[in-house]
């Protein structure tokens, strides 16, 4: 498994066509992520009582679908994501990805965390290559894909820069690039833009959508932002307070490709935000 990951880079002509004509949902009907009655209990430590973080969690994500998870702090969103990735074991139930039971990290799954894992002594280019080198992927293939990947991420002019010379948003794009180079089938994202300012976050949301629309990735995103979830997703899952369960499954019926200035003027956008806010207890 790759820590911080995204998609495959496609030829520019194909990318433009895919962005303008995203695959209809009927083409994404097969189940990629299947969470079946999963539970997770954390043992007592330092005098604290043991507790159930997750209980009877069931959900499915179809191939090439973009699904977001919302829920109150402490409801087990990040724990669930780590269980899907294979980093944390289930105590009950089963998780399958593309029909394969997940008990440990696998190469088909990439994970993007809130902070990048870039090494400060390596350039942007070498950081992006790092995962491929650790996995012993053929350098001929990775080097052939790197220029297109850098262009997709808007980092072509920064390939020889070091992480401290980049903005937070650029570092996160470079960290995502590590994963894109590995071509995972599933991308799990745990608040990847949560530490960024609102403007940078909005810009990266647009870039994330563009990359996803050009790829065959299945994406599962954990976020605290209702607006982000509505803008990005095909569906939004709302979890209950601890022990976390999936309480609501809301289909986001907004046209793709999406641009913020257009989508946010659509009355349905405001309706979804209001509906999800009510489910979350915001008002």
pLDDT score at 5: 35
Fold for 2-42+49-118+185-280, please state it.
Rossmann fold (3.40.50)
pLDDT score at 204: 85
Local structure of residue 161 (DSSP, 8 states): -
Helices 12-20 and 198-213: crossing angle in degrees, nearest 10, is 100
For residue 18, what are the contacts with CB-CB under 8 A and spacing of at least 6? 10, 213, 214
pLDDT score at 210: 86
pTM for the model: 0.84
pLDDT score at 207: 86
pLDDT score at 50: 80
Q: Starting from the edge strand earliest in sequence, which strands make up the sheet with 31-42, in order?
A: 51-62, 31-42, 92-97, 100-101
pLDDT score at 18: 38
pLDDT score at 17: 32
Q: Is the Cβ–Cβ distance between 221 and 80 less than 8 Å?
A: no
| Cα angle 16, 17, 23; round to 5 | 120
pLDDT score at 47: 63
Per DSSP, helices labelled H in the chain are 12-20, 77-85, 124-134, 139-153, 168-180, 198-213, 226-232, 260-263, 267-280
Q: For the chain, which residues make up each domain, given as ranges?
A: 2-42+49-118+185-280
Nearest to 278 by CA among 219, 236, 232, 244: 236
Whether a cis peptide bond, with omega within 30° of 0, leads into 54 is no
pLDDT score at 222: 96
Q: Is the Cβ–Cβ distance between 204 and 175 less than 8 Å?
A: no
Alpha carbon 146 to its chain's center: 21
What stretches in the chain show pLDDT beneath 50? 1-28
């Amino acid at each position: 498994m790759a820590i911080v990951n995204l998609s495959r880079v496609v030829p520019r002509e194909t990318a433009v066509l895919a962005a303008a004509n995203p695959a209809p949902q009927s083409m994404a009907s097969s189940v990629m992520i299947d969470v079946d009655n999963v539970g997770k209990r954390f043992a007592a430590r330092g005098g604290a009582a043991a507790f159930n973080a997750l209980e009877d969690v069931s959900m499915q994500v179809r191939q090439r679908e973009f699904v977001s998870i919302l829920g109150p702090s402490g409801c087990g969103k990040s724990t669930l994501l780590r269980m899907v990735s294979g980093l944390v074991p289930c105590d009950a139930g089963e998780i399958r990805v593309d029909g394969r039971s997940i008990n440990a990290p696998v190469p088909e799954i990439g994970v993007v965390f809130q902070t990048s894992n870039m090494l400060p002594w390596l350039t942007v280019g070498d950081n992006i290559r790092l995962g491929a080198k650790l996995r012993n992927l053929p350098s001929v293939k990775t080097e052939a894909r790197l220029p297109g990947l850098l262009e997709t991420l808007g980092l072509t002019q920064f390939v020889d820069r070091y992480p401290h010379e980049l903005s937070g948003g650029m570092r996160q794009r470079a960290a995502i690039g590590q994963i894109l180079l590995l071509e995972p089938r599933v991308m799990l994202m745990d608040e990847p833009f949560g530490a960024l300012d609102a403007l940078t976050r909005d810009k990266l949301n647009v870039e994330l959508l563009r990359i996803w629309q050009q790829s065959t990735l299945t994406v599962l995103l954990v976020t605290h932002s209702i607006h982000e979830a509505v803008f990005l997703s095909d569906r939004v899952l709302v979890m209950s307070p601890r022990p976390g369960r999936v309480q609501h499954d809301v289909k986001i019926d907004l046209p793709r490709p999406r641009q913020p200035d257009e989508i946010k003027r659509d009355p349905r956008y405001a309706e979804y935000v209001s509906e999800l806010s009510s489910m979350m207890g915001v008002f």
